[in-house]
Structure 1
């Protein structure tokens, strides 16, 4: 990694960075072809990689916007965005040294940390959770305890951790009290009545249900056709997408400065997607996502709900929410202990927010309100 000559130690010398960044103009271009990697004010450019926890979709639009609109370039960064997938565990890619940053959930990452991975949360992008367990409206499932004795779809791969923790906290052992079925990453298992309930996220799989034609009516399914257990509303919401780096890497040279600038660029990307959601939908569609445009528009709107309005600025970690998330993991037997305060840092994102405020970026979105998105068959 080449240290920048333009600035060093953003955490301890934020004032100097504010002056240099205030004059940096944003640059346009295509994320897939001509995204800028630097600007004229950069004495040098730091190359870094961020690994996502799934394939390209609006869930990660802020990263693509930061690259496409030149926000990373404004921070003297050349960022490679690496897609995730079924065989990609972001925090493990990070721990192995194959990326400088990773997008992951707190419980997943802290489980990896217990196993020896030196992963540290440096920005909590999503302030709110999106996990759902969905069943048919006539299933009789209206609470977590109603899942006992049922056939339950679950993705596995770490995505079951919040679900299992909540069940165990309710006195239900998912390994003996429930028949757990391996759920594909779609809603076919519920639609085909192969399972009584399935996992979903507000921004993706739930929309897949509402994009499906009800054969009894010839029209799309409606929310009233389903019973939804929202873990956030049930008190088992856990912190989901956040940015992670390695603790030992952050301690080396100017890497804390690089991390601060990466967070500034990323957070500005998310602010852009808040203010111009349609443009961000276009970006992820242009990246070749297999999901249709109306599905992506739904996802972008729901993702924005997880961030905006932001209580203390995009990416700011609530220690109360952190403790609740860790406690859910412990009570559910996913974590054996509190990982301690070394498992997260709030100073880097705080410095990043100061950089953005100096550029006039709205980091809280206090006036943001969600849009109304009309889904179409198949999300096209």
Structure 2
């Protein structure tokens, strides 16, 4: 699972989030991002240091960054990158604002909520072109579409509620009035125990848990907000406007090397599974194999080119967050800057590689065989 930008109650969580952001601002005067403004690295030729904080704990969701480090792609760009795993007690945005991280992986929605709270954060690349969030349910529930959710018990994570709220609104319904909302944990126990009719799941994580734990003869089906038109953007490369202005060359080198990491995972998934397991030896290989395959599907094939965040993609997320009260003011396009991405990936320094992956074919995995 990934951490999210809102808690169980959107309005109360927004207030808490604002307080947290401004609490972090108190650290800003005594901290800063990388002070190196050279276009070619440190003056003595030493690699430029970059600290990357992940959104969650080590897992294949972040395989591309680990691959860029393991395969020497960051070193090729004269970068010394430290990867810090995230977790339930780590707030990547707070680390970014305090100067304790240069770049973080966060949903694009976090960029918009953080900016509304006063932070100068910005996306410099959209990693996942399509979202992994789903609602799952058993086939005997007789659900043919969103209108059939009326009266059902639905497990939600606060940060992903806007996707579901928007779907209800699309059919003239209200999530709070027309369904029973259950604050779901980061597992599928309540779903498998029958407490939930529909449950939140990421295709690369909780959905696999549900498949592995399903001991019934019933099939698990999924609702996809991407197909419904109510998805919001997930994993994004996030930094501060000030760091980006001071370190444009470092940003471009980082983006270029990271792109190579994700291309490596697309073309060599087994290699990236090994790399992830080397960084998280306690992780089960079967689940990381599933996760690597599902995460690749979020990037490839790429309609707009790797890491690209278009105006249309931005607008859909911004509208959903505004219309459902996650942000009180309309968002600004200043929340993303693709200029560094464009220069990085169009540069002659970019090794020949396909940024669209039109020939990508995921691994053919049978969950019954994979999970036993």
- Normalized against structure 1, the TM-score is what? 0.82
1:154 aligned residue: 156
Deviates more, 1:290-299 or 1:262-271: 290-299
Separation in 1, partners of 2:118, 2:168:
27
Structure 2 match to 1:28:
none
Shift of 1:108: 2.7
Q: What's the offset of the Cα at 1:251?
A: 2.1
Q: Residues 351-362 of structure 1: matches in 2 within 5 Å?
A: 351-355=343-347, 358-362=350-354
Decide whether the 8 Å contact of 1:213 with 1:377 is kept in 2.
no
CA contact (8 A) 1:357 1:363 kept: no
Question: Which of 211, 222, 226 is matched with 1:232 structurally?
Answer: 226
Higher mean alpha-carbon deviation, 121-130 vs 329-338, is at: 329-338
Instruction: Look up the SS of the partner of 1:242 in the other structure.
Output: strand
Q: Which residue of 1 aligns with 2:53?
A: 51
Q: For residues 98 and 177 of structure 1, what CA distance do their matches in structure 2 show? A: 44
- Unaligned residue ranges in structure 2 (runs of 5+): 1-33
Q: Name the structure where helix makes up a greater proportion of residues.
A: 2
CA shift in 2, pair 1:291/1:153, >3 Å: farther
Q: CA deviation at 1:169?
A: 4.4
* Rounded Cα–Cα distance in structure 2 between residues aligned with 1:291 and 1:171: 43
Counterparts of 1:279 and 1:117, CA distance in 2: 38
* Matched-pair contact (CA < 8 Å) for 2:64–2:262: yes
Match of 2:243 in 1: 249
Distance, in Å, in 2 between the alignment partners of 1:355 and 1:88 is: 35
Bigger mean CA deviation after superposition, 201-210 or 190-199: 201-210
Change (3 A) 1:193 1:75: same
1:277: Cα distance to partner?
Answer: 0.2
Q: Is the 8 A contact 1:308 1:366 kept in 2?
A: yes
1:293 to 273, 285, 296: 285
Aligned to 2:88: 86
Q: 2:133 aligns with which of 131, 134, 152?
A: 131
Counting matched residue pairs gives 338
Residues 1-380 of structure 1 correspond to what in structure 2 (within 5 A)?
A: 1=34, 3=36, 7=40, 43-156=45-158, 158-214=159-215, 216=216, 225-252=219-246, 255-288=247-280, 290-355=282-347, 358-375=350-367, 379=371
Q: Deviations over 1:344-364 (max 9, x none)?
A: 101011111024764223222
Residue 90 (structure 1) shift: 2.4
* Cα distance in 2, alignment partners of residues 134 and 292 from structure 1: 23
What TM-score, normalized by structure 2, do the two folds share? 0.84
Mark the CA change 1:340 to 1:316 in structure 2 (over 3 Å): closer, same or farther: same
- SS of the residue aligned with 2:178? coil
In 2, Cα distance between equivalents of 1:70 and 1:138: 50
CA distance in 2, matches of 1:98, 1:73: 21
